[in-house]
Structure 1
Amino acid sequence: MKQIYALFFLFLFFGCKPETKLTNMKNKIVIAHRGASGYLPEHTMEAKVMAHAMNPDYIEQDLVLSKDDVPVVIHDIYLDDVTDVTEKFPERQREDKRFYVIDFTFDELQRLNVTERFDPKTGKQIYPNRFPKGKGSFKLHSFQQEIELIQGLNASTGKNIGIYPEIKNPEFHHQNEKDIAKITLNILSEYGYKTKNDKCMFQCFDAKELERARKELKSNLFLVQLIEFPEETKQLKHFATYADGLGPWYKQILDKKEGTRWQFTTLVEEAHKLGLKVHPYTFRSDQLDEFYSFEEMMQVLLFEADVDGGFTDFPDKMVQYLTKQ
């Protein structure tokens, strides 16, 4: 814990101050994708503290249930691409050679060391210029622990940074007789996140499960339907019957580039007509693909395409860019 708070105060005094007012952001929101994951291993407490000091609007949490039904903050249902599970529990792999969060108790999971994301087949780090793989001392943590951290930092700094949880692969959880949506929504309610005014956005790729959250589980939170595939862009009218926002892959917004100008699909325009906010993923300064700079990426998507905000591994860079607009 000393490591976490030392990190926070470092960025407090040398980075963004708690009293910084983001007065000219044109209503665009910044979502710290897996925390400040461009700088520290994703979804670690340290990455969340660093993100909080950077003044995003929201910090994201991906959630998977442990064997004993604890929501664990981790990006996938697998453990072997961000931890040393193959060394600590080599006998616990399934027939597909993967190691699953759901096969471990929370106490067992806390024995693992977390590292920068890597390819489990080759061992190579996915983003080679980020925090060095295998260095540092990072651990997994529960959703409750992260909520308490963020709410505690909000109280001590006077900020009001929200949370943006995503339940991962709910169908897989149902197949294992676990209801991740119900468990997560109950925890959110216990911590005061009950309505659209409570600085919490709840997201999922599974449209059936997100609709269930609204209609069967009676959630009044701001719900965001994540999408990835082309055919899903044709279902916006249905999404708008239960969701408040849309989280597309940013490439679904881009059409083609003519000279120096980008042309866009109709996705953002259609979503806005239906009253859906649009928060694309993921803005990465070290994975630009179509863009020649991170600034171009932000300008094109945030302002020319007119999305309402975005998920970024580099929340400091997006906050700084927006405050200059």
Structure 2
Amino acid sequence: MFLIIVLCLYVVGRVQGVSRPLVIGHRGAAYLPELTLAAQSMGYAFGADIIEIDVCLTRDNQLIVIHDIYLDGVSNVAEMFPNRNRSNGYSYVIDFDLEELRRLTIRERFRPFNGTQIFPLRFPSNSVIAFQLATLNETIELLLGFNRATGQQRQLLIEIKKPEYHSKYNKSISSIVLETLNAYNLKEPSDPIILQTFHIEELIHIRRNLGSKLRLFALMTWNRINESSSDYDFYRSEEGIRNLSNVIQAITPNLEFVVNYDSNGTILGNTNLTKWAHQNGLAVYPFTFRRDSFPGRSFEQLIQYFLHTARVDGFITDHPDVVLEYLRREMAAKDVIFIEQNSSSSLVSSMLILLFNMIMISKIIV
């Protein structure tokens, strides 16, 4: 009986060595208004390895967790401050102090000016529940508190929003982010903090001029979107990837940069991006995998393709629970295959060695 127990433990130990891709909860999780502490907490509860957030600066240099540089798509700012919008109709984070922003109610994302909910089947944007904006400090406290309470090591992926935009107001958002992190002694690559931005030259600045040792990820999208002045066509080329590998640890590209699609959303094949990244020691975490908005017919087939064929290192997703459930089923299937494969000569040999050692030990004891 003792021998059987030992053998079972041995096989289980071998099986548990199988790892899975990382799951990054995009803005927390899709089931509550984005980036609120509630949505972040739900992402952690679902089991996301990393929670992705965005930060912008207020007029009084406080770091607010919000995706856009304006407030109109997720809050009641038009009701609370009807005369604070600019000539284009938008109310910008940088025009408000933190105390003012604390008065706002955060809602599920909607289209400014007409109120149409972007994702109709998500949490109702007209709910009376008063969600609020969070600061970066509060988000860090949530992360550290969760890790302490659970004994786990979840991480935070912080997107620094539009450094070039902030610099026009004489604000170095990256410096303020680093100062905030330093106050929590979060400085090392082993700490549960990662920084990313679309302005790739800012990542170079953070590494070389600001001297940060934290892990850095490079966001990539289409040049035509004008997310920053960075030339993504160059940075996703073989030369560009090779140059970036001296500064960053991973790329976080639009998922359409990883595979080629036809006009119907059918995947035609892989690009070279993942291959070049891996050749240069960089991980690949594409964005954004949304169950309620994706190219093709089956969300599960999309995940399957990126996992097995595109061979990405993880998924940035609005639905971490769905992706994790799929990956768990995949890992369970791999466990079965692992045991079946190792019932061949390799496992038999290992078991024979173990049996021989146990016999020898028993002789010594006798």
- The answer to whether TM tops 0.5 is yes
Distance 1:75 1:203 in 2: 13
The answer to whether residue 173 in structure 2 is matched with residue 166 in structure 1 is no
2:348 matched to which residue of 1? Answer: none
Higher helix share: 2
1:184 matched to which residue of 2? Answer: 177
| Superposed counterparts of 1:112-261, under 5 Å | 112-135=104-127, 136-229=129-222, 231=233, 232-234=235-237, 235-256=240-261
Contact 2:259/2:267 (<8 A) preserved: no
Contact 1:24/1:322 (<8 A) preserved: no
Alpha-carbon displacement from aligned partner over 1:84-114 (angstroms, at most 9, x marks no partner): 0001001111122111001100110010000
Secondary structure of the residue aligned to 1:324 is helix
Displacement of 1:26 in angstroms is 3.1
Distance 2:259 2:267 in 1: 11
Q: Structure 1 segments of 4 or more deviating over 4 A?
A: 22-25
The answer to whether residue 80 in structure 2 is matched with residue 75 in structure 1 is no
Residue 244 of structure 2 aligns to which amino acid in structure 1?
F
Residue 187 of structure 1 aligns to which amino acid in structure 2?
T
Displacement of 1:130 in angstroms is 0.3
The answer to whether residue 264 in structure 2 is matched with residue 274 in structure 1 is no
Displacement of 1:199 in angstroms is 2.0
1:298 matched to which residue of 2? Answer: 303
1:314 matched to which residue of 2? Answer: 319
| Sequence identity percentage | 39
Secondary structure of the residue aligned to 1:177 is coil
The answer to whether residue 39 in structure 2 is matched with residue 47 in structure 1 is yes
Displacement of 1:179 in angstroms is 0.7
Distance 1:119 1:31 in 2: 25
Pair 1:261–1:204, CA change in 2 (3 A): closer
Alpha-carbon displacement from aligned partner over 1:114-148 (angstroms, at most 9, x marks no partner): 00111103210000010001212100010001110
Q: 1:287 aligns with which of 269, 293, 299?
A: 293
Contact 1:82/1:116 (<8 A) preserved: yes
Residue 205 of structure 2 aligns to which amino acid in structure 1?
R
Secondary structure of the residue aligned to 1:318 is helix
Q: Flag the structure with larger Rg.
A: 2
Displacement of 1:281 in angstroms is 0.3
Distance 1:185 1:298 in 2: 34
Alpha-carbon displacement from aligned partner over 1:171-225 (angstroms, at most 9, x marks no partner): 0110011111011012122223212211221100001111100000011111001
Secondary structure of the residue aligned to 1:50 is helix
Contact 1:48/1:59 (<8 A) preserved: yes
Answer 1 or 2: higher relative contact order, Cα 8 Å, separation at least 6.
1
List alignment gaps of at least 5 residues for structure 1.
Answer: 1-21
Mean CA deviation greater in 226-235 or 142-151: 226-235
Residue 76 of structure 1 aligns to which amino acid in structure 2?
D
Alpha-carbon displacement from aligned partner over 1:22-46 (angstroms, at most 9, x marks no partner): 957734111110001x211100111
Secondary structure of the residue aligned to 1:297 is helix
The answer to whether residue 25 in structure 2 is matched with residue 32 in structure 1 is yes
Distance 2:141 2:321 in 1: 22
Secondary structure of the residue aligned to 1:60 is strand
Contact 2:32/2:123 (<8 A) preserved: yes
Contact 1:262/1:300 (<8 A) preserved: no
Alpha-carbon displacement from aligned partner over 1:285-317 (angstroms, at most 9, x marks no partner): 101222x22211111112210111111111111
Distance 1:30 1:200 in 2: 15
Residue 253 of structure 2 aligns to which amino acid in structure 1?
P
Mean CA deviation greater in 22-31 or 213-222: 22-31
| Superposed counterparts of 1:78-93, under 5 Å | 78-93=70-85
The answer to whether residue 92 in structure 2 is matched with residue 100 in structure 1 is yes
Pair 1:120–1:129, CA change in 2 (3 A): same
**Aligned residue pair count:** 300
Alpha-carbon displacement from aligned partner over 1:49-84 (angstroms, at most 9, x marks no partner): 111111111111100001111110000101000000
Displacement of 1:150 in angstroms is 1.6
Pair 1:24–1:109, CA change in 2 (3 A): farther
List alignment gaps of at least 5 residues for structure 2.
Answer: 1-14, 223-231, 331-366
Secondary structure of the residue aligned to 2:134 is coil
Displacement of 1:264 in angstroms is 0.5
Secondary structure of the residue aligned to 1:130 is coil
Mean CA deviation greater in 105-114 or 116-125: 116-125
TM-score (norm 2): 0.79
